[in-house]
Amino acid sequence: MADGSLLANKAETVLHAQDYLQILKNRWKEAFLVFFLVFLSCALITKLMTPKYTSTMRFEIKLPRDLINLTVGGDVNPVQEDARGYDYMSTQFELLTSEKNLIAVANKLGLPGEWGISEITAASRIAMATKVEPVMGTNLVDVFVTETDPIVAQSICEAIATCYKEVREEKEKALINEVISKRDEIRREQQDALDTKADVVRQYIRSGKYLQNIWAQSGGNAPLSTAAEEQTFNQLTNARLTLESEISQMTVHVEKLQTLKDNDLLSYVTRTGLLSAESYSSARVRELDESFRKEEETWESKLISGYGEGHPIMKTLAEQHKNTQTQLFAELVGMRDAMQDQLEVKKAELVELEARLRDARNKLREKTLEDQKVMTALQEYREEKARYDKLVNDLVVDSMRLKAPRQIIEVYSTPVAATVPSSPNYKVNLIVGAVAGMILALVVAVIFNYFDTSVKSLEEAERHLQLPVLGVIPQDIGLLMLQDGNNPDAEAYRILRTNVELKKSLYKARTLAVVSANAGEGKTTTLCNLAYVFASAGYSTLMVDADMRRPRLDRYAEVDSEVGLSNYLTSDIELKEVVVKTSTPNLYMLPAGPLPNDPSGVLGSSRMSQLLSEVNKRFDIVLFDSPPVLGVSDASLLVSKVDATLIVLQPSKMPLKALLRMRSIIQNVGGQIMGLVMNNVDISSDSQYQYYTTYYSYYSPDANRKTLAPEEKNAELQPKPLLAQKPEVDNSEDIY
């Protein structure tokens, strides 16, 4: 497998090299013209160039920094801050050749007067003569100045560095002065704000609620505690909760007591402990309850001792017990009413307590808000004071920076006046011209070929489309059925017929669609001539005009019929009513018929499948003429139904993308592509097709007359099938 892959890669490399050689061979005139013009131009320009001298200087551009230790204040150096950008050093390199710096150079050297031009023009001339090259990974920069006068080149090189230094010093001083001015302006504004904040704090001190020492307080604690107000509020809150709990319990008991009487009432107050609670029951109720229980115990003890219920003592005890019970029940009712009154009193107390609680809450809120205002005012004063102190310190720092010396550049090599010209270099220029000419010539040839995206040869068609070319049709071949049968042009179609016949068994194809990407590629002519050579070989052949938008097959075959394919597909007529015979034996035709409103819908109908089934039974080969694949959807429907498809294309006509799109459309709908037909090929001017031209002389009529005997000639002219031929159909009888 590895050897096979290596051989394939090697073959592909050789193929690509051959492609480039073919490009140069096809476009050698343009390539040579480009090479000659480039080389000649380079030689003339080199000859006419004036000798120039180059002066060089190397120096380091320093980053801005404080040259003294400035620890006062917290602000950064404004010049250093300006230099913190990622592209700061790249910007400085560009400033060396900026218009401002070069104008300063020109004025410093008096070049506008010497050269007799304006300072802007002088700066432009210096810019064209100057080249700045930063040293990779460092802050070093090389400056090259090339001029016709070596002294001028040296002076300009020195002045570029000097003027850059002066301009940058001026800019940095101006920046610091601007910062000082802005900060002093802000300081004055800050002073006013600070005085305003101090006045607010002084007002709280004058109110007498806060002490003078709050100026010295630190941290976030309030200057005066709210403990008293908060304690009162908490006490009232707890008292309300206790009272609400008592009211809730009493409400439950009172509601329950209202529904009970006598023994049930006594049982409830005893069970719930209300009777023993002094807060709910009176001493009289508890006394009667105790007497009631003792009388019950005495009654039971007497019964145990043997007294009967009719004994006088027992009757007296029963009478007394009943009176006690009556009094107790009456007192319980009074107790229930007292509890109801007590509940109302407690509710009134709750209302009063809530009013006191609201008052305490408001006082606590007011005291808290007032303390917060004092702390906020004090905090704002401290912040303003800190900002003010920082601004004062920064002003001192910037004043020190303004007076501090700066190192803008450090020179490592000074420029000198050159004694040998740096340009032109005749030998190098001519070599460069030759190389550039060859490269440009090759590029031009490749560009011309690149922008020509069409398929130009048989090899390109097979390589890009991955489809075999079954036939190559020369230019200017007309309809064979209208010409002499001995026309040598027919041999191209016989080759195509042979290849199609060999492919038929592979694809099990009897119905073929002849398609093209676009109109004008000779699809209909190819179909007519292919059908003609099939019929000439004895095959029962049917041509179907399925292009129901622009049908032309009937005009090519000189057939006149008012009915056709559209009638068959849209009605119930039989096939024999729409198929007509042509003047060529074995050749039949199904015209397009009247143009339908929806050709796609007609071709996609079930009648189309019925048509394919019938023609498969009755003809040896059926060729369908189709509209362009990229134009309408009719062709997609057609190729999805027939057995196989032939694609007709012309060299250098359609872009490769269009052809690939056509192939993709056919394959996506399930069509089988049998192969390609290269039509309208200029085989006489293209060496790639020269081997196709041999049949012209071999099959020319004159050559046949010289080489064949009369009986051989007659035998040669008889149509013969390429493979096993079906019995010939008697043309005098209807095929149906």
Instruction: State pLDDT tens for residues 406-450.
Output: 778 888 888 888 888 777 777 888 888 888 888 888 888 778 777
Q: Looking at residue 118, what is its pLDDT?
A: 92
Q: For the chain, what percent of residues have pLDDT higher than 70?
A: 80
Query: Is the pLDDT assigned to residue 551 strictly greater than 80?
Result: yes
Q: Render pLDDT for 254-288 as a digit per residue (tens, 0 to 9).
A: 777 777 777 777 777 777 777 666 666 667 777 77
pLDDT number for residue 347 = 83
Kindly tell me if the per-residue pLDDT of 91 is higher than 80: yes
Which element (helix H / strand E) includes 227?
helix 227-257
**pLDDT recorded at residue 210:** 58
**Superfamily in which the 458-717 domain is placed by CATH:** P-loop containing nucleotide triphosphate hydrolases (3.40.50.300)
**How confident is the model at residue 216, as a pLDDT?**
53
* Greatest mean pLDDT range, 23-32, 345-354, 640-649: 640-649
Higher per-residue pLDDT: 622 or 321: 622
Most confident of 31-35, 161-165, 257-261: 161-165
How many C-alpha atoms does 545 have within 13 Å on its Cβ side? 32
Domain with CATH 3.40.50.300 in the chain: 458-717
Calpha distance 560→729 (Å, rounded): 23
Q: What does the pLDDT average to over 200-206?
A: 72
Interior/surface letters 595-611, b for 16+ CB within 10 angstroms, e for the rest: ebeebbebbbeebbeeb
What is the pLDDT at residue 646? 93
Which of 591, 523, 513 lies closest to 557 in space, CA to CA? 591
The mean pLDDT value of the chain amounts to: 78
CB of 402 closer than 8 Å to CB of 152: no
Q: How confident is the model at residue 110 (pLDDT cuts 50, 70, 90)?
A: very high
pLDDT of residue 222: 45
Would you say 251 and 340 are in contact if contact means Cβ atoms under 8 Å apart?
Answer: no
Q: At what angle do helices 99-109 and 119-129 cross, to 10 degrees?
A: 110
271 CB neighbour count, 10 Å cutoff = 9
- Choose between 582 and 735: higher pLDDT: 582
pLDDT-derived band of residue 302, with 50, 70 and 90 as boundaries? confident
- Report whether the peptide linkage leading into residue 719 is cis, meaning its omega lies within 30 degrees of zero: no
The pLDDT value recorded for residue 542 is 94
pLDDT at 653 over 60: yes
CB atoms within 10 A of CB 361: 15
pTM: 0.43
DSSP state of 52: B
Q: Out of 24-38, 53-67, 265-279, 588-602, which region has the weakest mean confidence (pLDDT)? A: 265-279
